[in-house]
Chains A and B, each alone.
Chain A
Amino acid sequence: MENEVRIAINSDQDIVIARQQGRTLASKLGFNGSDLTVIATAISEVARNIVEFAGKGELALTPIQQSHKQGLMVVAHDDGPGIPNIQLALQDGFSTTASLGLGLPGSRRLMDEFTIVSAVGKGTTVTMRKWVRG
């Protein structure tokens, strides 16, 4: 099994690096063309959230396995300001900046599993999983 990949997210350049690394790892795990794009897009959105709201953080890409299923887990973590109202942040079009407000709800649609844990003043962790379709 492939090893975990960790990427420090500090700037918009790291967003590009993160999604390219995500695509490379997902490709090795057997994901097909449109899933590769879907995964790279979701990684781009959660990495962008780190840069935009926390300034810096980390992304971990880990191969996962469940019975015969292969998958990829993406964990985006930051020690930023946290999200006061997660329900609101998961609504389409809700944004505290000039963005489209689709990052979190959109990533949730793109991936198979999506959880978010956030504490105000402490930080945010987004965990997403996608399984290779058999």
Chain B
Amino acid sequence: MQVPILKQRDYLIASIQAALTDADLLELRDELMKQVGKFRSRGVIIDVTVLDVMDSFAVRTLRSIAHMMKLRGADTVIVGIQPEVAFAMVQLGLTLTGVETALDLEEGLAFLDDQRLKERQVKGAPKRGE
């Protein structure tokens, strides 16, 4: 099951459509790595709303995707983790430390916009001595 990746402005949105095998998850990772360079994307959203299970492999892979994207200059937000999935993840002992999450796609986009705004403000600030 391939995950469609949409390009919107300078963001990539990977919208998971069905349960993913380990191989599918690794393919998603590789595809995002390719596209983030190709489109010079600054943000990546991975929508996991349809996933009814996030086990240790899925969480580990999402975490490594987020870290790789950061190294390529893009922020990653995982959106749509279902309440039951969050419950099972915590019991299993899984954490998404260092990875941004948001309730849904809308919140995810808002987060990335905020990040971009902050970056611009820092860049636009007058340098010392000017």
Contact = CB atoms under 8 A, between A and B. Distances in A.
B23 interface: yes
B21 A23 contact: no
A44 B85 CA distance: 13
A107 B92 CA distance: 6
A110 B56 contact: no
Interface stretch (A58-66, A79-87, A97-105): A97-105
Interface in B32-64: 52-57, 59-60
Interface residues of A, number: 27
B53 A44 contact: yes
B130 to A, nearest CB: 48
B103 interface: no
Given A12-B23, A106-B93, A33 B84 contact: yes
B19 A38 contact: no
A110 B84 contact: no
Contacts of B22: 12, 15, 48
A8 interface: no
B84 A34 contact: yes
Contacts of B6: none
Contact of B53 (A34, A41, A99, A105): A41
Nearest to B84: A37
A19 interface: yes
A102 B87 contact: no
A12 B25 CA distance: 11
B21 A38 contact: no
B93 A37 contact: no
A48 B92 CA distance: 14
B59 A100 contact: yes
Interface of B: 19-23, 52-57, 59-60, 82-85, 87-89, 91-94
Interface of A: 12-13, 15-16, 19-20, 23, 33-34, 36-38, 40-41, 44-45, 48, 92, 99-100, 102-103, 105-107, 109-110
26 contacts: A12-B21, A12-B22, A12-B23, A13-B21, A15-B22, A16-B20, A16-B21, A20-B19, A23-B52, A34-B83, A34-B84, A37-B52, A37-B53, A38-B87, A40-B52, A40-B53, A41-B88, A41-B92, A45-B55, A45-B92, A48-B55, A48-B56, A103-B56, A106-B92, A107-B92, A109-B91
